[in-house]
């Protein structure tokens, strides 16, 4: 059947295959212990196979960094995790809920506890920076308008944008937009955070500050996070474990110290020139 847009999807699962599919109600009985579990994920666009057998498990409260050259499918992996892209095959489980099996309600529950920093920022350009932050807060997280405003201002200050609160996204520089988007992802204080290149395009000093902030948030709220990055310094600050995405799967995983020992030109490349 014709694939519509992400939000207008006709179920493509034949009834018969529901029998061995875990549904929302039974999820507690499932053997998925980790907060985020990706098993044998495949995704291609036409002839281009982007992910072929990616497997990843991130424990509750853990932060995992995905390193990889551009175009290897890092953003695609994150999008599969929140149901923005539909995997061709494999299992994607977040907080014991299958997200690759399209159920609007289950997906919506997962999304409410997930913060997502888009690589491009994706600020709503019809709204001011402040409204970008309060929008999500006041919709799903039962807070008054004043509380939402106060909280948003707090997070904008944390990312160093206190002076840009009333500005429109079009008035911000690239780095400022990125930081505003980061504040938007953090402000809902979610259990799960997915960062797509949080420090790309920022100067080294701001980068370090942002990495510290990410680390700090994790410590304070016990978030589970995946950080996609090229920035080995950032990965060093924020992550418990890391993996290198290559040829459609996580070729090497381990702590950063373990990765640094690996005899692979590409992996060495990440460590050679820390920015």
Partner 1 sequence: MPKRSIGFAQAGTQVCLSWFRLSIMKRFFIHVYELTAFSLRFFKEVFLPPYEFGEFADHLQNFGSRSFPLVSVIGLLMGLILALQTKPTLARFGAESFLPAMVAISVVRELGPVITALVVAGRVSSGIGAEIGSMKVTEQIDALEVSSVDPYRFLVVPRVLAGTIALPLLTAYADLLAVLGAYVFMFISGGMGWQLFVTSTVSSLSISDIVPGIGKTFFFGYIISIVGSYFGFRATGGTEGVGKAATSAVVFASFLILIMDFVLVKVGILLFE
Residues that bind partner 1 (CB under 8 A): 1-2, 4-8, 10, 12-14, 79, 82-84, 108, 111-112, 114, 116, 118, 120, 122-125, 135-136, 139-140
Helix, strand or coil, per DSSP, at residue 12: coil
Partner that binds at residue 72, options ligand ADP, partner 1, Mg ion, none, CB closer than 5 to 8 Å by kind: ligand ADP
Determine how many CB atoms are found less than 10 A away from the CB of residue 165.
17
**Torsion-angle region of residue 263: left (phi > 0), alpha (psi -120 to 50) or beta?**
beta
Instruction: Give the neighbor-by-neighbor strand order of the sheet with 97-98.
Output: 48-58, 36-45, 89-94, 97-98
Helix locations, the chain, DSSP H:
74-81, 104-112, 129-140, 145-158, 174-186, 204-221, 232-238, 256-260, 265-272
Binding mask 43-62 toward ligand ADP (x if CB under 6 A, else -) reads --x--x-x------------
Q: CB nearer to partner 1: give 104 or 268.
A: 104
Examine residue 65 and tell whether it contacts Mg ion (CB under 5 A).
no
Least CB distance to ligand ADP at residue 48 (A): 6
Least CB distance to ligand ADP at residue 59 (A): 24
Partner that binds at residue 136, options Mg ion, partner 1, ligand ADP, none, CB closer than 5 to 8 Å by kind: partner 1
Q: CB nearer to Mg ion: give 119 or 207.
A: 119
| CB neighbour list of residue 54: distance below 8 Å, 6 or more residues apart | 38, 40, 41, 42, 73, 77, 90, 245, 248, 249, 250
Q: CB nearer to partner 1: give 155 or 270.
A: 155
**Torsion-angle region of residue 61: left (phi > 0), alpha (psi -120 to 50) or beta?**
left
Examine residue 68 and tell whether it contacts ligand ADP (CB under 6 A).
yes
Question: Per CB under 6 A, which region of 67-75, 95-103, 187-195, 258-266 contacts ligand ADP?
Answer: 67-75
Among 72, 77, 97, 119, binds Mg ion (CB under 5 A): 119
Binding mask 26-45 toward ligand ADP (x if CB under 6 A, else -) reads -------------------x
- Rounded Cα distance between 202 and 126, Å, is 24
Q: CB nearer to partner 1: give 122 or 165.
A: 122
Q: Based on C-alpha coordinates, what's the Rg of the chain?
A: 19
Q: CB nearer to partner 1: give 68 or 115.
A: 115
- H/E run at residue 92: strand 89-94
Q: CB nearer to partner 1: give 187 or 242.
A: 187
Q: How many helices (H) and strands (E) does the chain have?
A: 9, 10
- Among 95, 37, 75, which Cα is nearest to 227's? 75
- Rounded Cα distance between 22 and 28, Å, is 10
Determine how many CB atoms are found less than 10 A away from the CB of residue 144.
9
Q: CB nearer to partner 1: give 123 or 245.
A: 123
Among 74, 113, 179, 241, binds ligand ADP (CB under 6 A): 74
Examine residue 77 and tell whether it contacts Mg ion (CB under 5 A).
no
- Give the residues lining the site for Mg ion (CB under 5 A): 75, 119
What residues line the site for ligand ADP (CB under 6 A)? 45, 48, 50, 68, 70-76
């Amino acid at each position: 059947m014709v694939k519509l847009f992400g939000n207008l999807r006709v179920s493509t699962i034949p009834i018969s295959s529901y029998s061995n599919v875990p549904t929302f109600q039974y999820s507690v009985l499932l053997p998925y212990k980790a907060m985020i579990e990706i098993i044998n994920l495949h995704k291609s666009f036409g002839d281009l196979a982007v992910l072929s057998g990616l497997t990843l498990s991130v424990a509750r409260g853990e932060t995992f960094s995905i390193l990889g050259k551009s175009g290897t499918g890092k953003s695609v992996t994150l999008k599969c995790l929140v149901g923005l892209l539909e995997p061709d095959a494999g299992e994607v489980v977040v907080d014991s809920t299958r997200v690759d099996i399209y159920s609007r309600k289950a997906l919506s529950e997962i999304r409410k506890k997930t913060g997502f920093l888009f690589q491009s920022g994706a600020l709503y350009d019809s709204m001011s920076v402040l409204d970008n932050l309060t929008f999500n807060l006041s919709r799903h997280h039962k807070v008054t308008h004043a509380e939402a405003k106060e909280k948003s201002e707090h997070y904008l200050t944390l990312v160093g944008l206190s002076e840009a609160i009333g500005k429109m996204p079009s008035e911000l520089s690239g780095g400022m937009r990125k930081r505003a988007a980061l504040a938007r992802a953090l402000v809902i204080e979610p259990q799960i955070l997915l960062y797509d290149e949080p420090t790309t395009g920022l100067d080294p000093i701001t980068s370090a500050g942002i990495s510290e902030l990410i680390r700090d948030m994790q410590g304070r709220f016990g978030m589970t996070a995946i950080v996609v990055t090229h920035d080995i310094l950032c990965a060093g600050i924020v992550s418990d474990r890391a993996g290198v995405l290559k040829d459609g799967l996580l070729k090497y995983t381990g702590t950063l110290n373990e990765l640094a020992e690996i005899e692979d030109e590409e992996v060495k490349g990440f460590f050679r020139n820390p920015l």
